[in-house]
Amino acid sequence: MKHAWFEGPLGTELIRRGARADSFLPEWNESHPEIVDAVHAAYASAGADLFLANSFTLNPPELARRGMTANGPRWGTAAVALAEKHGVTLGDLGPISRSADFPNEGDLRTAVEWLGDADGILLETLSDVTAFDAVRWIRRERTDWPIYVSFAFRRDADGDLRTYRGLDPATIAELANDAGLAALGVNCGLDLSMADVASIVAQFRERTTLPLIARPNAGTPYQVGGTWTWPLDADAFARNFRSLIDAGATLLGGCCGTTPEHLLAMRAAAEDLLLS
């Protein structure tokens, strides 16, 4: 199966380029479009095939908390336009609520409308079964869209790999089989090694034939002088990257803390395996 490459995270890249950690990053689609565009361009130069709109937190409850609701349509349109200059673009949405990833259809439908010019959508960093409700809700509105779903994991008190709300990889894969997804995956997570991410992918593969996404973090960050630092540089990150491919992932990339340099190193590692 042909492998494809996601661009890496926009959030940590925008922070590297001057955004404050507490900035509302979708606003940058309008206030600093040249910087958002430069991030996409850097990932394109590194070999990305799939681009993500700068829209992870662009949802009605978040905008309402900030008194910015009227800006949603404009910032969503700008997010997609900036990414699609560089290739196939997915609207990008994270959890909408702290109580459930997607607690109601109305807010999700509005967020999807704001990203309506995208080629598909990625729901990522998820933890609970409402992800599959969201897929059904989106499918009602956008029968043409490929829908990608990706979960975040950590080790629970017993040492098992589960999402933050307790789902294990096997349960997720079984639910995904009948959901009409374009792909299922893992991204982000707390204290996850490359081997942990490979284990999650392998457990998915045992129970589904869906294409699988693997986008690990560049390790677990720590603070130096008030600044978050990610421990795995591009070479260290790519060194163990083969485990994700061996586990069955075909849609590849990095999540928090990875950079265009990480993507370039990943692609080089894959080429060495004759899998590019």
Per-residue confidence band for 276, with pLDDT thresholds at 50, 70 and 90: very low
CB-based contacts of 97, cutoff 8 Å, min separation 6: 61, 103
The SS3 assignment for 232 reads: coil
Res. 21 pLDDT band, cuts 50 70 90 = confident
Domain 4-272 listed as CATH 3.20.20.330: yes
pLDDT, one tens digit per residue, over 120-134 is 999 999 999 999 999
**Dist CA 201 CA 197 (whole Å):** 6
What is the residue-averaged pLDDT of the chain? 95
pLDDT (0 to 100) of residue 1: 55
CB 202 within 8 A of CB 247: yes
The confidence score (pLDDT) of residue 240 equals 87
The Cβ of residue 46 has, within 10 Å, a number of other Cβ atoms equal to 20
Please compute the mean of the pLDDT values over residues 40-62 and round it to a whole number.
98
The structural domains of the chain, with segments of one domain joined by +, span: 4-272
Overall average pLDDT of the 24-46 stretch? 98
CA dist., res. 173 & res. 181, Å (int)? 11
pLDDT higher than 80, residue 64: yes
Residue 75 has pLDDT above 60, yes or no: yes
What type of residue sits at position 68? M
Say if residue 254's pLDDT is above 80. yes
